[in-house]
């Protein structure tokens, strides 16, 4: 296991002074003045507008800085699958941060532990939603039960990449990680107390609820000095103070591919010396650098040939039967481990065969669904959720499919239980139509309690349907999709969901005159023949990088595949990214 890196605190010593000093009182210097008005900043007598000193963004835990630039994105080797879905094109990716390694089992167990501590007694379904699918290891003609039983929780695998995690679960982890890192920053700066015992149910720290004034922590100090005239003298941290980190998230496909190639180590000035097939130089999968400590060894964990997952005893080629520890192989020129092999990795993008044709040249990405915070009639932020929110439409769809498959085996009592859930769903839909969200969700919650109180054999299956369709958890701030009405007059977008833009929308289909195509919820499925001729729809998410059970072809960063965002695999994991704000280079001159 590689030792944990210590954070660079030099910048924060500079930044922290701005938080703890009371304006310019401690400095005794002439206050900085506005270049627009001439009024002094940080002066109560002038109204108290604050301008904070700021060095540059601190590198958050686990991340590596990726200096951005332009590169040729796409497939540069033979297209063996003949998909032609990643035509080479030049794009630009701004600087960002990316996890040094894949997210490990240890990180995921830390996440589960926190969820169980906060939600376990009252909202058990939130905890169950985060459990990886350990059954992904099973194969009908293989004995993989040791991985089913031990891989996630046994300490021997704690530094191995977590698998069996869906795209949706990976995004939930990113949100949780953001909040824990920002909470720790407040604790580190002495602004709030570390009080995990007080964070139960919906009363816990999130960055959003703290900034919205809907989380009141136990404080160590009174807070930052409030320079506004007539204030109480202290205030909470604001976003403008620059203390909080940007959100952890999944990388876009362009970001991931750019970081995997690591061309920063393969260029001089603006000239790239050699085009790379893999995240290392050359066209070989072995290390051909005679000066290196791993000369002749495998550069990644993958299948060398038919039936050869690890080599011959006494001379194992990659040393891993399935996954390997995250620091097992040499990093690329950005210092990133396993950007080829070990496990494939989720990225943010929705899959389309012609993304390469349609995407923008700057920060290309498909998958935008624009949202905004919910507000009340007075324009104030709506209260955070204090109940579990379920996706009622998807729950009904899943229950209908389950009933169809299992109805022939139902007992009378089981049939009644399912019918009672359908009745509750209909009642919930009526409440939602009347814009009574909480009352509608209460109907679903009561239906779930019918299941948890039941002794029927199908109760576990039915509970899983509820767990699978949890949409929001207690303690989260309320968001909604932007509406067409509030976007009137815009020319850059008009609707919230832009996944289908130029590929799947009404205008881009040759079947635009087909009445079936024009029905709600049918457009994308009709265009790509979802479930008939393809598995492409708006839930198909891209994954990249090749895994322990892949041939070397998939190790090339230009290859791409997709899977439904609710599904998981024993060969798909993920790593988190973070935006770089401000300068595109580290330690940029001020």
Query: Which CATH number do you get for residue 158?
Result: 3.90.1580.10
Residue pair 548/147 in contact (Cβ under 8 Å)? The answer is no
User: Do 448 and 554 fall within a single domain?
Assistant: no
Residue 323 falls within a domain, yes or no?
A: yes
Among residues 585, 538, 529, the alpha carbon closest in space to that of 565 is found at 538
**Domain identity same for 290 and 412:** no
Instruction: Give pTM, 2 decimals.
Output: 0.91
Residues 313 and 430 in one domain: no
Contact predicate 98/360, CB 8 Å: no
The strand pair at 311-312 and 315-316 is best described as antiparallel
Phi, psi (deg, nearest 5) at residue 375: -130, 155
Helices (H), 159-300: 167-188, 207-211, 253-261
Q: Domain range spanning residue 407?
A: 389-472
The answer to whether position 291 is within a domain reads yes
Is 437 in contact with 430 (CB distance < 8 Å)?
Answer: no
- Residue 420 to residue 435: CA distance in whole angstroms: 23
> Is 485 a domain residue?
no
Residue 68 forms part of a structural domain? yes
Do the beta carbons of residue 254 and residue 355 sit within 8 Å?
no
Residues with Cβ within 8 Å of residue 217, at least 6 apart in sequence: 186, 192, 193, 195, 205, 210
Q: Is the residue at 416 inside a domain?
A: yes
DSSP assignments along 481-515, one per residue: EPPSGGGTT-SS--SSB-TTTTTTSTTT-TTTT-T
- Dihedrals phi, psi of 12, to nearest 5 degrees: -75, -25
* Residue 414 placed within a domain: yes
CA terminus-to-terminus distance, the chain: 38
Q: How far apart are CA 337 and CA 328, in angstroms?
A: 8
Q: In Å, how far are 280, 283, 301 from 288, measured between CA atoms? A: 10, 10, 16
If you search the block for the tokens 């876009």, which residue do you land on? 252
Final residue belonging to a domain, choices 414, 438, 472 = 472
β partners of residue 312: 315
Residues 173 and 107 in one domain: yes
Both 250 and 114 in a single domain? yes
* Domain end marker among 417, 439, 472: 472
What per-residue confidence (pLDDT) applies to 299? 86
Which residues, 6+ apart, have CB-to-CB distance to 199 below 8 Å? 117, 118, 205
371 vs 347: CA distance, rounded Å: 20
Question: CB neighbours of 6 closer than 8 A, spacing ≥ 6?
Answer: none
- From 442, 472, 502, the end of a domain falls on 472
Domains: count for the chain: 2
Q: Quote the CA–CA distance of 573 and 166 in Å, as a whole number.
A: 8
Question: Is residue 177 included in any domain, yes or no?
Answer: yes
pLDDT in tens, the chain (590 residues): 554 444 444 344 334 434 444 443 344 457 799 999 999 999 898 898 999 888 889 999 999 999 999 999 987 777 667 677 788 899 999 999 999 999 999 999 999 999 999 999 999 999 999 999 999 999 999 999 999 999 999 999 999 999 999 999 999 999 999 999 999 999 999 999 998 988 999 999 999 999 999 998 887 777 788 888 888 778 889 999 999 999 999 999 999 999 999 988 887 777 776 778 889 887 778 876 655 566 677 889 999 889 899 888 888 888 899 999 999 999 999 999 999 999 999 999 999 988 888 889 999 999 999 999 999 888 999 999 999 999 999 999 999 999 999 999 999 999 999 999 999 999 999 999 999 999 999 999 999 999 999 999 999 999 999 999 999 999 999 999 999 999 999 999 999 999 988 887 766 666 666 666 555 555 445 567 777 778 888 999 999 999 999 999 999 999 999 999 999 999 999 999 999 999 999 875 44
154 and 265 inside one domain: yes
195 CB neighbour count, 10 Å cutoff: 11
Judging by DSSP bridges, how do beta strands 96-99 and 577-579 pair with one another?
Answer: antiparallel
**Residue 407 within a domain:** yes
Same domain for 352 and 397: no
pLDDT on residue 170? 98
Q: Would you state the torsion angle of the CA atoms of residues 236, 241, 243, 248, taken in this order, to the nearest 10 degrees? A: 100
Residue 568 sits at the vertex; the CA angle it makes with 567 and 571, to the nearest 5 degrees, is 150
List Cα–Cα distances, 292 to 249, 296, 401, 561, in angstroms.
Answer: 34, 9, 56, 33
Q: Does one domain contain both 399 and 329?
A: no
- Tokens 């109204």 belong to residue: 47
Verify that 445 and 316 share a domain, yes or no.
no
Do 419 and 326 lie in one domain? The reply is no
Beta carbons within 8 Å of 331's beta carbon, 6+ residues apart: 100, 337
The rounded radius of gyration (Å) of the Cα atoms in the chain is 26
Alpha-carbon distance of 216 to 188, in angstroms, equals: 17
Q: State the pLDDT at residue 265.
A: 82
- Residue 399: CB atoms within 10 A of its CB come to 19
Q: Are residues 363 and 395 in the same domain?
A: no
Provide φ and ψ at 317, rounded to 5°: -75, -50
Q: Are residues 164 and 266 in the same domain?
A: yes
pLDDT of residue 16: 42
């Amino acid at each position: 296991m590689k030792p944990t890196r210590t954070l660079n605190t030099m910048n924060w010593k500079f930044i922290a002074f701005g938080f703890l000093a009371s304006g310019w009182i401690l400095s005794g210097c002439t206050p900085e003045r506005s270049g627009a008005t001439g009024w002094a900043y940080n002066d109560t007598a002038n109204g108290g507008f604050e301008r904070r000193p700021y060095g540059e963004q601190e590198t958050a835990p686990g991340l590596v800085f990726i200096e951005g630039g332009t590169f040729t994105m796409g497939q540069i080797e033979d297209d063996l699958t003949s998909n032609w879905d990643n035509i080479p094109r030049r794009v630009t990716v701004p600087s960002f941060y990316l996890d040094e390694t894949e997210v490990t089992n240890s990180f995921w167990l830390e996440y589960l532990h926190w969820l169980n501590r906060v939600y376990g007694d009252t909202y058990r379904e939130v905890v169950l939603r985060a459990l990886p699918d350990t059954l992904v290891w099973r194969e009908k003609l293989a004995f993989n039960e040791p991985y089913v039983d031990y891989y996630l929780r046994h300490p021997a695998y704690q530094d191995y990449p977590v698998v069996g995690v869906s795209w949706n679960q990976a995004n939930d982890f990113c949100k949780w990680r953001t909040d824990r890192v920002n909470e720790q920053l407040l604790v580190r700066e002495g602004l709030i107390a570390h009080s995990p015992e007080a964070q139960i149910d919906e009363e816990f720290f999130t960055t959003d609820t703290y900034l919205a004034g809907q989380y009141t922590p136990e404080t160590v100090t009174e807070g930052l000095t409030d320079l506004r005239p007539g204030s109480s003298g202290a205030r909470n941290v604001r976003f403008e103070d620059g203390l909080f980190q940007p959100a952890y998230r999944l990388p876009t496909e362009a970001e991931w591919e750019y970081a995997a190639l690591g061309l920063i180590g393969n260029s001089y000035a603006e000239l790239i010396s050699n085009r790379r097939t893999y995240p290392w130089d050359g066209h070989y999968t072995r290390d051909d650098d005679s000066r290196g400590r791993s000369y002749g060894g495998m550069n990644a964990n993958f299948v060398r040939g038919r039936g050869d997952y690890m080599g011959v005893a006494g001379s194992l080629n990659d040393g891993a039967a399935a996954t390997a520890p995250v620091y097992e192989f040499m990093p690329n020129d950005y210092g990133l481990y396993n950007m080829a092999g070990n496990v494939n990795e989720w990225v943010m993008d929705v899959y389309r065969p012609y993304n390469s044709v349609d995407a923008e040249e700057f920060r290309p990405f498909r998958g935008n669904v624009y949202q905004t915070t919910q507000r009340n009639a007075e324009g104030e932020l709506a209260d955070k959720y204090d109940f579990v929110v379920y996706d009622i439409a998807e729950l009904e769809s899943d229950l209908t499919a389950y009933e169809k498959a299992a109805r022939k085996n139902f007992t009378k009592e089981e049939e009644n239980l399912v019918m009672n859930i359908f009745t509750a769903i209909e009642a919930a839909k009526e409440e939602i139509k009347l814009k009574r969200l909480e009352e509608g969700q209460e109907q679903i919650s009561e239906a779930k309690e019918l299941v948890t109180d039941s002794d029927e054999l199908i109760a576990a299956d039915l509970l899983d349907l509820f767990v699978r369709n949890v949409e929001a958890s207690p303690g989260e701030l309320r968001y909604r999709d932007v509406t067409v009405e509030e976007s009137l007059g815009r020319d850059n977008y008009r609707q919230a969901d832009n996944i289908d833009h130029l590929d799947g929308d009404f205008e881009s289909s040759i079947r635009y005159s087909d009445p079936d195509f024009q029905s709600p919820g049918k457009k994308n499925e009709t265009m790509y023949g979802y479930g008939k001729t393809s598995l492409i729809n708006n839930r198909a998410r891209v994954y990249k990088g090749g895994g322990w059970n892949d041939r070397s072809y998939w190790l090339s960063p230009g290859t791409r595949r997709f899977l439904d965002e609710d599904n998981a695999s024993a060969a798909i994991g993920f790593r988190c990214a973070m935006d770089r704000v401000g300068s595109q280079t580290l330690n940029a001159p001020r």
